[in-house]
Amino acid sequence: MKPQVDTVAILGLGLIGGSLAKALRKSGFCRRVIGYGHREPSLRRGLELGVIDAFTLDLGEAINTADIIVICTPTLVAAEVLGEILPQTQAMAEPPLITDAASVKGSLRDAALRICGEFPAYLVLGHPIAGSERSGVEAAKADLYNNHRVILTPVPQNDAAAVARVHAMWLATGADVVEMTVDRHDAVLAATSHLPHLLAYSLVDALAQSAESDEIFRCAAGGFRDFTRIASSDPVMWRDIAIANRSALLQAIDLFSNHLGQLRQAVSEEDAEGLHATFTRAKTARDDFARILADRGQGKPN
Ligand SMILES: NC(=O)C1=CN([C@@H]2O[C@H](COP(=O)(O)OP(=O)(O)OC[C@H]3O[C@@H](n4cnc5c(N)ncnc54)[C@H](O)[C@@H]3O)[C@@H](O)[C@H]2O)C=CC1
Ligand SMILES: O=C(O)C(=O)Cc1ccc(O)cc1
């Protein structure tokens, strides 16, 4: 691909930023990818691994040299980083395009409004729906976003050319790019991602604290492993997500608690018909979901 921009700067070179850097370098979307962060060792490691072309510990340098800045730090840090960047870019005649990969969008939209008064045309919020329970630049993979969704959440104040450029950047990684409102994004992700992580952490924590925990974990089967894989995810990342998306997450928790309460009652009353109906509905929905994933090339249809 002929380079569409000169420099992309990745702020926070971990799994998500490192994977984006690798994918962009492989695709040729930009001439070079630079890393910025507060920890030199992981940036140096990124350079050794060929994830980035260069790095800087100077935020001003990253802002002044990049055409696109992608914030890939934990969610609450991303709002702080916007607080450092936007006062500088607001004073520039031709500010770089700014985007991000954080898992919650409303908290960043609100931070941008607080900092700038009105939403900057050149800030396009986004979220790749791809990742894993692993973190850090060592886990970065060039094909992480291939055949995965990226959700952009443009607002009316956005410049259409800025949105198109972020769209093109993610397309270059092999992703399928869709658009959604900020609030819809946060409600959907609360239900499909933030609640499942909370449940996995909760189940593992509850069992780990019980007196028989050693025996429970020794005897657990594949279903327990599948259900709890995401409880190995980074606690800082998920603490930030739970706080940043608390309002939508509380609604998802309440919906789920209510449903679990009904299932509890069905078990207690030996309501075989009710249990069977619930499990059948869920199996049909899960089988449909598995087929959607298989059609997108993301797994087997089961
Ligand atoms: N891990 C996943 O599966 C996914 C994560 N996300 C979101 O992407 C973002 C990054 O997640 P990961 O790459 O998994 O985390 P990570 O822990 O692998 O990487 C985060 C990076 O940010 C750096 N960092 C922390 N504070 C910083 C600061 N003040 N200034 C500059 N750099 C700083 C860290 O040193 C680290 O290199 C998070 O907002 C997360 O919610 C989005 C989709 C999937
Ligand atoms: O590990 C998994 O299965 C995930 O669910 C990855 C993930 C984590 C956070 C996101 O905001 C999006 C995707």
Q: Is 245 in the pocket of ligand 2 (CB under 6 A)?
A: no
| Ligand positioned closest to the Cα atom of 237 | 1
Cα(103) to centroid(ligand 1), Å: 10
Indicate whether 88 belongs to any domain.
Answer: yes
Q: Are residues 176 and 189 in the same domain?
A: no
ipTM: 0.98
Indicate whether 242 belongs to any domain.
Answer: yes
Indicate whether 288 belongs to any domain.
Answer: no
Q: Which atom, in ligand 1's list, is nearest to the CA of 19?
A: 13
What per-residue confidence (pLDDT) applies to 302? 56
Helix (H) or strand (E) holding 8: strand 5-11
- Give the residue ranges of the chain where pLDDT is below 70: 300-302
Is the overall model pTM greater than 0.90, yes or no? yes
Write out 116-151 in H/E/C secondary structure.
Answer: HCCCCCCEECEEECCCCCCCCHHHCCCCCCCCCEEE
User: If DSSP codes are grouped into helix, strand and coil, which group holds residue 5?
Assistant: strand
Q: Are residues 175 and 196 in the same domain?
A: no
Structural domain including 263 reads 185-269
What per-residue confidence (pLDDT) applies to 215? 83
What per-residue confidence (pLDDT) applies to 179? 98
Domain boundary among 114, 147, 180: 180
Q: Are residues 102 and 65 in the same domain?
A: yes
Domain boundary among 151, 180, 209: 180
Residue 171, domain CATH: 3.40.50.720
Cα(193) to centroid(ligand 2), Å: 7
Count structural domains, the chain.
Answer: 2
The answer to whether the beta carbons of residues 112 and 85 sit under 8 Å apart is: no
Q: Is 193 in the pocket of ligand 2 (CB under 6 A)?
A: yes
Q: Are residues 117 and 199 in the same domain?
A: no
Cα(278) to centroid(ligand 1), Å: 37
User: If DSSP codes are grouped into helix, strand and coil, which group holds residue 33?
Assistant: strand
Cα(177) to centroid(ligand 1), Å: 21
What per-residue confidence (pLDDT) applies to 57? 96
Q: Is 129 in the pocket of ligand 2 (CB under 6 A)?
A: yes
